[in-house]
Structure 1
Amino acid sequence: MRIIKLNAIDSTNLFLRSLSIDTNVEDFTVVVAKHQTKGRGQMGTVWSSQDAKNLTFSVFKRLVNLKLDQHFVISMVASLAVINTLKKLNLPKLSVKWPNDILSANKKICGILIENVIKQNNVSATVVGIGLNVNQVNFSNLPQASSLLNVTGISYDLDELLQSILKELEILFDLVESNHFKTIKTTYESYLFRKDKPSTFKNEEGLFSGFIKGVSNEGLLEVLLEDNILKTFDLKTIKLLY
C-alpha cells in the first residue's frame, strides 16, 4: 500500500484518476489531503471541509472480473468500511442513507464518491473517495451535518482513523474477490437508514410514501408502495426526505 499525503489539492479523486491515466498506479494507492479546494460529493454536489479537521482521502483499487452490473458492491464495501470503523468507536445509531451517506443519530458525518474505470463491460478499477467529518464543530448552513467530535465529545487522530478504514477496505475487497456478494449486501441492507419504516420520498411527480426494503443487485433502491407493490428507483429519480 502506497500512501501519498498532500497539504492541499483540488480533489483527491481527481488527483488519483489523473495519476492512473498517466502512470501505472500501484494497487491500493491512497491519497490523503489536509485540504481540498474542490471536494465533490454525489450528483455533482460540493463537499465542504475545514483544513486539517477532517479526513479526506481516496483509494485506487484494481478489480478482477467485476461485471458492470455488479458495480454497486464497491459502494457497499466503502460504506461498510466506514461503518465498521465507527462501530469500534461506539458511535451511536449508525446507518447508511442510500446509496452511501453515513449517518450517526440521523446526522450526516461521512460522504463517499465512487468513480469507476470501465473496460469491456467490466469494472477494471475504482477510485473510492471518502470524506469523514472528524474534529470540525461548526457546519454553517448544513443543518443535517455533524462530526465525530460533535457526536461523542472526543477529538480523534486522523491517521489512526485512516489506517482503520483502510484495513476494513482491504478485508471487504477480499470478500469481493472471493465472490461473497450476498454477505456484503445483507450486511449493508441491515444498516439502511429508515429501512422498514414509513418514509416520505420525492420524485419528479411529487411526494409519495413507502417503506425501504433493500437494494437490488444493481444498487437501485427497493421501496414497498401502496397495494404491496415493490418498485425500484435510481439515484437520479428519487430523494428520501428526512
Structure 2
Amino acid sequence: MHDLFDPLNDAIQTDSPFDRASFYYKSCASTNDLAQTYLLHAAEGTVFIADHQYKGRGQRGSKWISESGKNILFSFILYPEWLTIDGVFALNVITSLAMYDALVDHLAKGMAIKWPNDLYYLDKKLGGILIETHIGEGYKIKAAVIGIGLNVNQLYFDSANCTSLAIHTKKPFDRALLLAHIMDALGSYYAQLQNGMDHLLWEKYVNRLYRKTGFYPFATANRWLEGRILSVNRAGELVVAERNGTQYCYKSKEIVFI
C-alpha cells in the first residue's frame, strides 16, 4: 500500500468545496508556522503537509512529537470572516467532528472527542488540534490556521498516553487518503457552520465527548471535584455538574481530567 505523500503528486483530489492546493514538506519546523507565512495569499483550504516536524507544538506551548513518515501532520488555512471572535470555538467543533468522521469506521467502539482539542481512543490520545486565529475589524476572524496531528502508523510512543490507528487495527494506513477524508468532512461541516447550522453541529459534538456519560474526577486550580459533563457552551467552556447538581463552567486552562 502506498503510504507516502508524493511531492510530485501532492494535489490530493477530494470532494471538498475548497478550491485549494496542497504543499508537501519532508521536514519543517511546524506546519502551522508554514501556513502563517502564506496567510491572505493562499486560497482558503490550502493544506501544508509534513512527514516530520522538528518544532511541532500543541496547545498551551506543549510539544508534539511524531516519528518521521508515520503519521499525519498538516495545517490548513481558513478565512471565516463571517465568524466573530466569541464564536471561534466553532472551528474546534467542526475540526474535531471531521477527524472523528474520517476515523470512526476504522475503529471499534471507543473513540471520542476529548475537550478541548484532542481525539481519544480507549482512554489514549489518537490526535490533537491547534488553532491560531487573526482578528480583523469588528472582532471578526480575519484568518485561521488549523493544525492537526494524527497518530496513524507509529507503533511505539514515549508516552503511555498515546496510541495510533495501526496499533489497534494491526495494519498500515494510506495517510494521504485519510487526510483527504478529513478535509472532505471538514469542508462539509464548514459549509454547515457558515449556513447557520451551528446548533446541530454543537449537538453532534457534545454527543461524542470523551467521558460524556457518568461522573468522573477532575482537578481545578484550587480543588478536586467529581462531576458529570453536561455540555460545552458557545464560548468553548466545559459545563460540569457535581453530584449535588451545582453547575460550573471552565475554560481549557482551568480544569484537568484525572
TM norm. shorter chain > 0.5: yes
Query: Could you say what secondary structure the match of 2:86 adopts?
Result: helix
Tell me the CA shift for residue 196 of structure 1: 3.1
Tell me the CA shift for residue 90 of structure 1: 3.5
Query: Could you say what secondary structure the match of 1:27 adopts?
Result: coil
Q: 1:127 maps to what in 2?
A: 145
Q: Deviations over 1:66-116 (max 9, x none)?
A: 011111010011100000000132343110110121011121110110111
Q: Does 1:222 align with 2:239?
A: yes
Question: What pairs up with 1:98-137 in 2 under 5 angstroms?
Answer: 98-120=115-137, 121-137=139-155
Q: Does 1:171 align with 2:168?
A: no
* RCO higher in structure (CA 8 A, sep ≥6): 2
- What's the TM-score, normalizing by structure 1? 0.95
Q: Does 1:27 align with 2:44?
A: yes
Q: Does 1:7 align with 2:7?
A: no
Q: Deviations over 1:180-221 (max 9, x none)?
A: 110110000001111131111111113211111110111100
For 1:153 and 1:112, the matched residues in 2 are separated by 25
Q: Does 1:154 align with 2:210?
A: no
Query: Could you say what secondary structure the match of 2:247 adopts?
Result: strand
Query: Could you say what secondary structure the match of 2:56 adopts?
Result: coil
CA RMSD for the aligned pairs?
1.1
Gaps of 5+ in 1: none
Asked if 2 retains the 8 angstrom alpha-carbon contact of 1:91 and 1:152, the reply is: no
Amino acid across the alignment from 1:85: A
Gaps of 5+ in 2: 1-19
Tell me the CA shift for residue 240 of structure 1: 1.1
Tell me the CA shift for residue 64 of structure 1: 3.0
For 1:88 and 1:179, the matched residues in 2 are separated by 28
- What's the TM-score, normalizing by structure 2? 0.90
Q: 1:17 maps to what in 2?
A: 36
For 1:208 and 1:229, the matched residues in 2 are separated by 11
Asked if 2 retains the 8 angstrom alpha-carbon contact of 1:91 and 1:104, the reply is: no
Q: 1:198 maps to what in 2?
A: 215
Tell me the CA shift for residue 226 of structure 1: 4.1
For 2:211 and 2:105, the matched residues in 1 are separated by 22
- The answer to which of 88-97 and 232-241 deviates more is 88-97
Q: 1:70 maps to what in 2?
A: 87
Q: Count the aligned residue pairs.
A: 238
For 1:164 and 1:34, the matched residues in 2 are separated by 18
Amino acid across the alignment from 2:145: V
Asked if 2 retains the 8 angstrom alpha-carbon contact of 1:220 and 1:235, the reply is: yes
Asked if 1 retains the 8 angstrom alpha-carbon contact of 2:98 and 2:185, the reply is: yes
Asked if 1 retains the 8 angstrom alpha-carbon contact of 2:107 and 2:168, the reply is: no
Asked if 2 retains the 8 angstrom alpha-carbon contact of 1:113 and 1:128, the reply is: yes
Q: Deviations over 1:136-167 (max 9, x none)?
A: 01111x11100000111121011111111111
For 1:86 and 1:196, the matched residues in 2 are separated by 21
For 1:227 and 1:92, the matched residues in 2 are separated by 31
Moved over 3 A (4+): none
Amino acid across the alignment from 2:190: F
